[in-house]
Amino acid sequence: MTMLPVDIDFSRLKEVLTYDPQAPMIFSSGIFLWLFTAFMIVYVLLQRKNTARILFVTLFSYYFYYKSSGTYFFLLAIVTVCDFLLAQWMDHTVGRWKRKGLVTLSLCINLGLLVYFKYTNFLGGAIASLMGGEFTTLDIFLPVGISFFTFQSLSYTIDVYRREIKPLRNLLDYAFYVSFFPQLVAGPIVRARDFIPQIRKPLFVSQEMFGRGIFLIASGLFKKTVISDYISINFVERIFDNPTLYSGVENLMGVYGYALQIYCDFSGYSDMAIGIALLLGFHFNLNFNSPYKSASITEFWRRWHISLSSWLRDYLYISLGGNRKGKFRQYLNLIITMFLGGLWHGASWNFMLWGTFHGIALAVHKMWITFTGRKKGEGSHGWRRVFGVIITFNFVCFCWIFFRNADFDNSIDMLKQIFMAFNPQLFPQLLEGYWRVFALMLLGFLLHFAPDRWENALCRGVIRLPFLGKALLMVALIYLVIQMKSTEIQPFIYFQF
């Protein structure tokens, strides 16, 4: 029997498996699908060998980060080792000031890395402008996900400092927690208190977990590659790149399109991260809960990027004094927290302005609650709620204009077009020219505003499908993605943060 020669192009294989700055690995890429399939085979084989499985996942997570940011995976190792040792030291330290010094050192290491890689050029330019000098921009690469894993590691050391959790004794376990690949590069920010108890538990994936994981992966993939990418490439980018070339009605539709795009993009990533974690036997908390259904800006931040908003509340807002030092301080703390939340998103005035707008809105809403005497947690109902949802959605969309536009002048141009050159008579022509985009936008908003029970029923339906049915669902969705995708893979928006 003659064996057929296997022709393997090793140079091409090496090219695929090494880091490509033009094509970082993301969940919706083909290379991830093949690697994850191979990963799952080994993962299942190691299901009864806890330490070997944890080591394997950690190594794969570091490779995943290498495929996203190249050799900068060493930053992940620096943060991991430093915070692990500092937490150990804190646990054996009794003196209050010594413990404060150790947690401050953790803050300096994590925020120092964040400031250097993310804010050096911005701060240098701002200082040079104030001093009347010139600043030469430095060529500093921004590692993907550095804002997420530094905040995640900080939550661990701060919780150890507050004696809310006991530190881990095993460096491998901590490396597993910080680097766990499903949420490594774009969240959600997973708290140590939620995740660490799951690390050494026997691997168990129930039928409900598996089905829900498949549903979330399919849902996230659909939101990202079918809705978000399509409306971005074919409509939203064109409007935001040249707002003055379009009428006010086109600009407004572009803003609404971006509101849907960023939601589908980011919540799509979160859905896939949570779904993949479920397939591996781990539970993450919900990160998005239909945020555009919110009837107030306070409710919006309880539904949007929940892991970040709760992080800012617990580690920044409360540390500033929260609502314990009077009403004025509460309002000021809200504005400072959201200003810094805007700065977390990027070294740019537009992000700071976006955060400040949200901070002021939160403060105004708290004032309104105090003025009307409404009880904490009491929501609006009926037409009052409908009115609140409309106002909140449009305010959030107004803020998205400044979030999306790096150039302040572009934001002003968009607002001028919307308020001074609206031209509503062009809408039928716009609808005819971009009917596919508007059909997807309509579908996206209908799915978003649909009752939660519909989504839960659909999820239960996927859970009840046999394994072959779940596999066919994923194949059909991947086929749809291939048919609709652009020539280039669109990275997730939050990769830049």
Q: pLDDT value at position 5?
A: 53
Could you read off the pLDDT of 288-338 as tens digits, one per residue? 999 999 999 999 999 999 999 999 999 999 888 888 888 888 999 999 999
For the record, the structure tokens of 309 come out as 């908003």
- The residue-averaged pLDDT of 433-438 equals 91
Q: pLDDT value at position 493?
A: 66
Q: pLDDT value at position 353?
A: 93
Position 484 confidence tier, pLDDT thresholds 50, 70, 90 = low
- The residue-averaged pLDDT of 28-57 equals 86
Where would I find the beta strands (DSSP E) of 163-308? none
> What's the whole-number average pLDDT of the chain?
86
Whole-number Å distance between alpha carbons of 202 and 221: 29
Phi, psi angles (nearest 5°) of residue 433: -75, -30
Position 480 pLDDT exceeds 80: no
* Helices (H) then strands (E): counts for the chain: 22, 0
Q: pLDDT value at position 486?
A: 57
Q: pLDDT value at position 375?
A: 65
Position 83 confidence tier, pLDDT thresholds 50, 70, 90 = very high
**Three-state DSSP class for 110?**
helix
- The residue-averaged pLDDT of 47-57 equals 91
Instruction: Report the Cα–Cα distance between both ends of the chain, in Å, rounded.
Output: 57
Position 396 confidence tier, pLDDT thresholds 50, 70, 90 = very high
Active site residue 345: yes
Query: Are 330 and 383 within 8 A, CB to CB?
Result: no
What percent of the chain is modeled with pLDDT above 90?
Answer: 44
Angle between helices 349-372 and 382-404 (to 10 degrees): 160
Q: pLDDT value at position 489?
A: 60
| Buried-exposed string 87-98: b where 16+ CB fall within 10 A, e elsewhere | bbbbbeeeeeee
228 CA to centre of own chain: 14
Of 29 and 300, the one with more pLDDT:
300
Amino acid occupying residue 28: S
14-23, 119-128, 232-241, 346-355: segment of lowest average pLDDT: 14-23
Q: pLDDT value at position 495?
A: 61
Catalytic residue among 305, 345, 358, 448: 345
Domain regions of the chain by residue span: 21-199, 207-295+380-496
- The residue-averaged pLDDT of 453-467 equals 89
**Three-state DSSP class for 134?**
coil
| Buried-exposed string 201-224: b where 16+ CB fall within 10 A, e elsewhere | eeeeeeeebbbbbbbbbbbbbbbb
Position 3 pLDDT exceeds 60: no
Position 7 pLDDT exceeds 60: no
Question: Nearest to residue 305, comparing CAs of 168, 493, 72?
Answer: 493
How far is CA 279 from each of CA 19, 21, 409, rounded to the nearest angstrom? 26, 29, 46
Position 419 confidence tier, pLDDT thresholds 50, 70, 90 = very high
Position 138 confidence tier, pLDDT thresholds 50, 70, 90 = confident
Q: pLDDT value at position 345?
A: 85
Could you read off the pLDDT of 89-125 as tens digits, one per residue? 998 888 888 999 999 999 999 999 988 888 888 788 8
Whole-number Å distance between alpha carbons of 337 and 306: 15
Could you read off the pLDDT of 257-301 as tens digits, one per residue? 999 999 998 899 899 999 999 999 999 999 999 999 999 999 999
